[in-house]
Amino acid sequence: MAAPFTRVCRPLWRIITTTTLNKGARNISSSRQQWSAQNVKTAVAASPWALHGAVCLQRLPVVSQDRSPIEEEFMELMHQMELERSLLSDHELRLLEDAARMSRKQEEDYDSDEEDEDYRDKEIVTAQDLEDTWEQKLKQFQPAPRSQGVDKKDMGSSERCLADSLILLVKKDVGSQKLWLLPQIQWQMGETLRQTAERALASLPGADLKATFLGNAPCGFYKYKYPKDIQKEDSVGAKVFFFKAVLSSHKHLPLEKNSFAWVKKDELQDFLKPEYLKQVRRFIMAL
């Protein structure tokens, strides 16, 4: 009688053991999470470096760039080669057909009864008539301007240099200095670094910018020390994590003069400090 009792008790023993192990695993996992959260808080509180999230906001080109002289020559060459190698289009064949029909009408032995039924007793619109109509429409067409009437030297407008990619810079107070930087703000407990970068863009005074962020991971990093006059034992400097974003829409609001600048990649050196510029250039592409 021992064997049946053993078969009945063995599954019960397994259930009790599995339940106990699961409870222990959950307790260990919960303890680890609490320990990790406490360590993060302790590390943030003990670190003399402030964490910042920054956004590299780019306005992509709106129009194509002007062609260089060599590009113009190459384009003309390609057009000429295409013309020489191409077959006649339907419109060109119709021009030849209309010319042949007109020459037949001018002959002395011309008989209108021999004309095709498609052209008999009908008002004929020749290919040349179509070309004349198209020429009139072309004269009425006005291409869109390649500029919005904004001076290229007006750094505060995002409508300058429509053929180039522009990057947003803001002027920040760092100690007693006013420096041009990418928009950044200090990280707050409970948010991710990307959320910090989004808040940095949303908190710009007087600007209503909508952007598409490209990923959740930082694209660059920079560390700098505060000026000596504002350094403390628990506040030495800042560690900045950059995120890339593309401008999707914005409202034309009057921004504070000399506090914002939309600059091209080759103009960054006129605004940013050399060490900061070195890090920023690593992840900015001239699109």
| 244 closest CA partner among 216, 225, 204, 210 | 216
Q: Which amino acid is at 232?
A: K
Contact 224, 276 (CB under 8 A): yes
Partners of 50 in the β-ladder: 238
Residues 192-208: tens digit of each pLDDT:
999 999 999 998 887 77
Please tell me which residue, 38 or 259, carries the higher pLDDT value.
Answer: 259
Q: CB of 247 within 8 A of CB of 165?
A: no
pLDDT recorded at residue 167: 93
pLDDT tens column, 46-101: 688 999 999 999 999 988 888 899 999 999 999 999 989 999 889 889 888 888 88
| Residue 150: pLDDT over 70 | no
Specify the pLDDT at position 166. 92
**Across residues 138-155, what is the average pLDDT?**
77
Rounded-to-integer distance, Cα 281 and Cα 277, Å:
6
- Please state the pTM of the whole predicted model: 0.65
Provide the terminal-to-terminal Cα distance of the chain, rounded to the nearest Å. Answer: 84
Kind and range of the H or E run holding 10: helix 2-46
Whether the pLDDT of residue 103 is over 70: the answer is yes
With a pLDDT cut of 70, the percent of the chain lying above it is 73
Whether the CB-CB separation of 185 and 203 falls below 8 Å is answered with yes
* Lowest-pLDDT range of 9-13, 142-146, 176-180, 199-203: 9-13
Q: Return left, alpha or beta for 175; rule: phi > 0 is left, psi -120 to 50 is alpha, else beta.
A: left
- Give the confidence band of 120 by pLDDT, cuts at 50, 70, 90: low
pLDDT at residue number 32: 53
- What pLDDT score does 159 carry? 82
37 pLDDT tier (thresholds 50, 70, 90): very low
Q: Which two tokens stand for residue 199?
A: 């808040």
d(CA 60, CA 165): 5
Query: Pairing relation of β-strands 184-186 and 209-213?
Result: unpaired
Please name the residues in contact with 52: beta carbons below 8 A apart, sequence gap of 6 or more.
Answer: 184, 185, 186, 187, 196, 238, 239, 240, 241
Of 261, 204, 195, nearest to 53 by C-alpha is: 195
Q: What is the pLDDT of residue 64?
A: 84
Strand partners, 287: none
Task: State the average pLDDT for the chain.
Answer: 79
> DSSP string of 62-78?
SSPPPPPHHHHHHHHHH
Return the DSSP state at 47: -
Q: How far apart are CA 162 and CA 144, in angstroms?
A: 13
Q: What is the pLDDT of residue 287?
A: 57
Would you place residue 45 in the very low, low, confident or very high pLDDT band (cuts 50, 70, 90)?
A: low
pLDDT of residue 77: 96
Cα 264 to chain centroid, rounded:
14
